[in-house]
Chain A
């Protein structure tokens, strides 16, 4: 899944996702991507988040909505993302998944669930501080 959060110059937030889903899925299966609050969520009064990974598991936790609510309560975006991953970890320790978060002041972060073969998550960031869209990486928790 491509998940994206855009915070405009005035702090307006938009988010989106696009995916072709799980490979060899049962026909009719839909994952988290098109579900608001699961695949992504945007609220210009708090921030935005987007998720990627095993949608069958992640959608049950509305991770993007949850991350935005953590940021609304003042959590740093990276912490908000980590708290969402931790929440899912309690129920499904070996799930494959990652979340990106950004708040209305332009702070951003990401988090992922560490499993064999997936210990780091790469994501892209663009901002006035970066000369061009830049690949960044976070260690999974």
Chain B
């Protein structure tokens, strides 16, 4: 396809693609289309990897990362580790419009979002809570720790640095780590 406009997006997230295309057709800007398109995925909780109620961290909490970039001005707005606010890409857009920064993170980003009028909400759902409890019940496997004691491939921790880990032990531990295809960005 060599004609414009074009909208391309990852995975078969049809709702997001249709929303972005409709915003463009209705005269919205490219940034509007990205914000509303990706925002639709946050509402739809696309395959559990976007939006609230998915991918709980080790404390069972869902946190959100998002960015938006204007290719005309090279302006970027982004939030990372955003807590208690659902519309992450909406907040990222506000970073462009109301700050001279680029990236705001964590609970402080949430406070900025509230100041911009976004509701402060609980991002945990029954589904993310049951994922978390199931993970706790299977000795916290898989996880993202390595070279720690107790052996992170066997137990939940709390972990700490060992006094000494021999190269052989390190090799053995790293070979055991299993790739979890469901856990990605």
A residues contacting B by CB (< 8 A) are: 1-36, 39-45, 48, 50, 52-56, 58, 94, 96-98, 100-102, 105-108, 110, 115, 117-118, 122-130, 132-133, 135
Contacts and interface: CB of A to CB of B under 8 A. Distances in A.
Interface in B28-46: 29-31, 33-35, 37-39, 41-42, 46
Given A24-B183, A123-B11, 20 more contacts: A2-B13, A6-B7, A7-B5, A7-B6, A16-B38, A16-B68, A18-B41, A18-B65, A20-B48, A20-B64, A24-B144, A27-B61, A100-B10, A106-B4, A107-B2, A122-B11, A126-B5, A127-B7, A129-B3, A133-B18
Nearest to B103: A34
B81 A28 contact: yes
A13 B50 CA distance: 23
Nearest to A42: B71
Specify which of A20, A27, A56, A127 lies most central, judged by the most chain B CB atoms within 10 Å of its CB: A20
Contacts of A10: 4
B92 interface: yes
A43 to B, nearest CB: 5
Given A3-B10, A24-B135, A30 B38 contact: no
A122 B106 CA distance: 31
A133 B14 contact: yes
- Shortest beta-carbon contacts, A-B, top 7: A13-B71, A42-B71, A124-B17, A55-B185, A14-B30, A16-B34, A133-B17
B140 interface: yes
Interface of B: 1-14, 16-18, 20-21, 24, 29-31, 33-35, 37-39, 41-42, 46, 48-52, 54-59, 61-72, 74, 76, 78-81, 88-89, 92, 102-103, 105-106, 131, 135, 140, 142-145, 179-185
Given A19-B65, A27-B61, A40-B67, A126 B11 contact: no
Contacts of A124: 7-14, 16-17
B143 to A, nearest CB: 6
A100 B140 CA distance: 33
